[in-house]
Amino acid sequence: MRKSADLLIPALAACGVVVALDQGTKALATSLVSRGDRIEVLPFLHLENVRNQGVAFGIGGDISAVFIGATIVLLLGFLVFIAVRGGSGWLVWLPAALLIGGALGNLADRVRDGAVTDFISLPAWPTFNLADVAIVVGVLLLLFDVERSNR
């Protein structure tokens, strides 16, 4: 358990970096691109200023205060689970930090604006943001760790 405690501070710092990068890039994108507009950066990459009121990729419509509260409870529960039972290595703490930081970044948007700001647009894929990237990478790394543990 001592090793888990040693990794908690760096993991919380990583979580904070994810939130800061997410919120900073969203602020930059919204300052460069008017809401509803789109700017071509590369032929396959556009900056777009859209709001996502749904859960993931706009699915689910408007999100209620109950969903926001449930998200907070689930994030805290996940953090306690990782701290108590999840393991002590970076393959647990870093993905957890990415996942929680991404969720907190999007949650901040929901609380502040009632919707998540998305700005990265690729062909044939819903518009997303850095918090979404952190969540996906965190989940993939956690799955990698579970698969590795099963071997």
Q: Which residues are catalytic?
A: 118, 132
- Indicate left, alpha or beta for 57 from its phi (over 0: left) and psi (-120 to 50: alpha): left
Scan for tokens 């989940």, then name that residue: 139
Measured in residues, the chain has a length of 151
Which is it for the CA torsion 29, 31, 36, 39, positive or negative?
A: negative
Tokens of residue 137, six digits:
């990478």
- Nearest CA-CA partner of 96 in 144, 56, 135: 135
From the CB of residue 101, how many other CB atoms can be counted at a distance below 10 Å?
Answer: 26
Rounded distance, CA 73 to CA 71, Å? 5
What's the one-letter identity of residue 79?
L
